[in-house]
Structure 1
């Protein structure tokens, strides 16, 4: 509806009133009111309402259900561990977690006993409620027992990305303010690299702990902090997002109710447990709703459907390009004899959506959109192809979110002549915003750990690094620009195409013509995990800017790493030789034809 639609109803009422004064009956007055309303554009609203009312009612029921249970748990002063205890009491012998790599099955009582042992051990270390302990290990049931056991006594786990090394690892440790670290034996080498910097902390390698009873839980409620989950760092260094008990419940429960999950479902989780998709949307179905969750340490496209058949999975998780990777696999028998009915996640591209459902016979796609720390999210509750969610036209204030227009290059909000933000029309891309209400657990924003110190550390580290380079990785298709004040370098990120997956490209301004590829590679190896290192380099003598001094990101993105499109020096990271090689037209053709592996 347009900006003036809000005045049509009063105008219609006035018109009907005048007709009544003229002697017409109320029946004819109401009929006249309806006619005025329809003629003034009201038919559009009625049409949209008729098309969306079923979807909106389903969304409203889900929202009310989540709110009802959340307020119930608030009144009962419940927490994630205490809700889990209720699941243990209901079905102690039911399978809770399955470790795919070993086939080991933990029942709900077993997970409870192991997490109790962790809680007793944490108390024995002198850790108390409010202390922070880092958990640094690959995804497996033991990680769940660790954070759940620590949460039982109020100790706050910081879930560290197991791909991080050196500077990035130390940054995340410093931001959390952790007193200790529990790490997996598989990450011993990564810990040894920074052991001197961790000398003030208590370090523990995972092993067996005695099983002891836990008499009581630490006094907490849903507003208290459960653990920290780190952002991906697309706007700087990773930030430790605060996850309180109510946020954990909200994210997991919206997934459970929105996508029609039930207590008999078995969830296949191949996503990392250091992030919300795996640990909340996935494992949360076990902890809060009593489902069985199969945990795989790392995603494998070739083993995906075999695992689903082996463990009778009915729900699978995906993120980003996982569905496309599965479509790229050769046909195998297991992909047609599984019991999977729901795939839930985010980042499924519309152009592979229907192919994925058709080939693997998936009845429902549960696509959602949101950020770990955000107070608003969207969910595709009606299985509409290509949709990540909706905003009600009939009841827009029930779930107060808006999609606002933004400049696709700068990502700045577009404003009208009055300085107000401009709502998007249907089909337009934009930035989602949600109304913050600190008194509503569904609408509050909890922020990040040590926010002031984080900003200072972030600025200092970025300035130091930009003296030699300026690099920032971004996990979406759009390009991202990073400029450093006081430095002669800036970078733009784009992505290659024509090969499987994505590859980052850093465009670096080399004014002095003294860029050293070997030094750069050594720096990024120390600072970034393997998946975040740029595969391609583009060295330019100057920053190409528009008339308004904006960097020409679009042109760089279109030209990519094609040496025929630019006179800039181009390099690619040769995986076999482990060094940057000059990119010639012959090598470019070999890459595009798949003859040269990246």
Structure 2
């Protein structure tokens, strides 16, 4: 790899030491001078990045030591929590609105949940899906289920109808827990649910509209015992804990497997990399059905003495108000949250918080400085990680725009994360004459991958419930015959200091409002609603906003599209973040035969009406309206609701 740290840089001190030992002073001096002259730039890079890299490697070593302790003692998340409970039973785990949940209360509630489902006949390996907004009971429910080995499938609260039903079926759900807020959503799919699936309503007045039996989970939990219990088949380190749904690269959402080992690793990453202490309080407004909010956000409350503030949903205007109220020291964000917060009216209390850092991903470089300066944030820690994969990096030193870094004091060939060359049209790896992948040069965009080593908890790939989907995320014969790697699907670039910057996504996926969107799924819905096949969906950049908004190109030479019908159909079948904002009407049917090849060109052309002769439309309220030059300007200026 051009620009990589040569092995000679590492072996030079050894050679110098040998010469000194042999008292060959002249040769030693000459060797040093020659080495510096030949490798002066590489030596400079190593010295400049060494403090950063040593800090990162040290914290990673701490994480590895603790991870090995969990592994060697076969500890589950519940097992680790039990150990922390003995040490400090009265510590605060969660703050929620005006409630305070101490460790003893989390333990009691989770025990009651375990007793309810144990009595109902649930056993290790069964799956229960959970559909509810953020609150302490959310974490306590899956913790309680995990105590009897039941896997909890965390359902995205934006899903409905076909997509929701798909997730329940994919997870092979035996029971569904939902709060009163989602009664109508569950009712819509009741007739299509398996007859054996049991429904449990939590909170609110018990609904009487269901045809099948609906269990009152609130009552069952209140009546259950909170005492500790024993089971013969106790869950351990490698047992499955959660299913977290991700859109992957194609099709409907996929259930990513998160065993206890991976959850503990995610919690350790937050604990070690952020140097969490018992004095830290994390502000977590992120959805707990994703890894960022449900593992990084609350994991430290289970394995450490750190407290977490939970909020039902993100509110830009309440973000720093809440941080001040709860005296938070760490704030979480994702995607465009920081932009929304920055757009709120300035007020004197903007910087009266006690945050020592904010952690997340997706803070756009264009607003980074303004955000930090206005709110006086001492440190921004960007993190990158794939829910189902083994690629995890972080930016620990405030480098604007970087999603992480790779150490420069080591040859990249010994590091388990790499950036490889790909065909940017197909997303496939470029192979050399030996059939192996090639590392990208510095400043060359390529695919981020993680070498898989199943005997190493930090390098394991657990994949999806569906084995075929897992297979598609793995490439073989990467850098040597027989090795394999997880393919992230993200295109990144690394500079000579080792900082990694996000560029784009490969395949048929784009990211919008912090969620991955499968173009195949959106195309299928549009084709079904309109009764056509000739359409293609892709993501387009809107100014300097994080992610890409959905756009669809449709062949409609006869102008037969009913935009009201299309908008209504999209609303019925897709979550809000997956609905296209823009439509491009193509006049020539012949173009549709090469849509897959032209998707890159369509994406690059964007939605500028001054550049595109085809008719353009924008999603406004309940329909689509013509995209004029004036409307285009308003969108770029942030005046239109997206």
2:281 aligned partner: 266
Is the deviation greater in 82-91 or in 160-169? 82-91
Once residues 172 and 5 of structure 1 are traced to their aligned partners in structure 2, the CA distance between those partners, rounded to angstroms, is: 45
1:504 aligned partner: 550
1:131 correspondence with 2:129: no
Q: Secondary structure at the match of 2:345?
A: coil
Once residues 365 and 589 of structure 1 are traced to their aligned partners in structure 2, the CA distance between those partners, rounded to angstroms, is: 31
Inter-CA distance 181–393: structure 2 relative to 1 (3 Å threshold): same
Can you give the 5+ residue segments of structure 1 that lack an aligned partner in the other structure?
457-470
Once residues 532 and 436 of structure 1 are traced to their aligned partners in structure 2, the CA distance between those partners, rounded to angstroms, is: 31
Deviation at 1:558, TM superposition (A): 4.8
Can you give the 5+ residue segments of structure 2 that lack an aligned partner in the other structure?
204-217, 473-506
Contact 2:146–2:235 (8 Å) recurs in 1: no
What TM-score, normalized to structure 1? Answer: 0.86
Once residues 151 and 617 of structure 2 are traced to their aligned partners in structure 1, the CA distance between those partners, rounded to angstroms, is: 44
2:28 aligned partner: 30
1:328 aligned partner: 343
Written as runs of structure 1 = structure 2, the 5 A alignment for 1:83-482 is 83-100=80-97, 103-200=98-195, 201-207=197-203, 208=218, 209-210=221-222, 211-216=225-230, 218-395=233-410, 396=412, 399-416=415-432, 419-452=435-468, 474-475=510-511
Contact 1:491–1:509 (8 Å) recurs in 2: no
Inter-CA distance 327–543: structure 2 relative to 1 (3 Å threshold): farther
Inter-CA distance 334–409: structure 2 relative to 1 (3 Å threshold): farther
Once residues 538 and 370 of structure 1 are traced to their aligned partners in structure 2, the CA distance between those partners, rounded to angstroms, is: 34
Contact 1:135–1:160 (8 Å) recurs in 2: yes
Contact 2:278–2:306 (8 Å) recurs in 1: yes
Inter-CA distance 515–393: structure 2 relative to 1 (3 Å threshold): same
Of 49, 58, 82 in structure 1, the residue corresponding to residue 79 of structure 2 is 82
Deviation at 1:95, TM superposition (A): 1.7
Deviation at 1:7, TM superposition (A): 8.1
Once residues 5 and 69 of structure 1 are traced to their aligned partners in structure 2, the CA distance between those partners, rounded to angstroms, is: 30
Once residues 373 and 118 of structure 1 are traced to their aligned partners in structure 2, the CA distance between those partners, rounded to angstroms, is: 27
Contact 1:545–1:551 (8 Å) recurs in 2: no
CA deviations 1:34-93 (Å, max 9, x no partner) are 344344x33333222211222221122112111111111222221100111122222222
Once residues 397 and 10 of structure 2 are traced to their aligned partners in structure 1, the CA distance between those partners, rounded to angstroms, is: 34
Inter-CA distance 2–110: structure 2 relative to 1 (3 Å threshold): same
Deviation at 1:257, TM superposition (A): 1.3
Inter-CA distance 104–515: structure 2 relative to 1 (3 Å threshold): same
More strand by share: 2
Once residues 430 and 593 of structure 2 are traced to their aligned partners in structure 1, the CA distance between those partners, rounded to angstroms, is: 19
Contact 1:345–1:368 (8 Å) recurs in 2: yes
2:478 aligned partner: none
Inter-CA distance 79–527: structure 2 relative to 1 (3 Å threshold): same
Once residues 401 and 544 of structure 2 are traced to their aligned partners in structure 1, the CA distance between those partners, rounded to angstroms, is: 24
The structure whose RCO (Cα within 8 Å, separation 6+) is larger is 2
Of 522, 530, 534 in structure 2, the residue corresponding to residue 489 of structure 1 is 534
1:466 aligned partner: none
Of 572, 579, 582 in structure 2, the residue corresponding to residue 536 of structure 1 is 582
Q: Secondary structure at the match of 1:526?
A: helix
Contact 1:316–1:344 (8 Å) recurs in 2: yes
Aligned length: 572
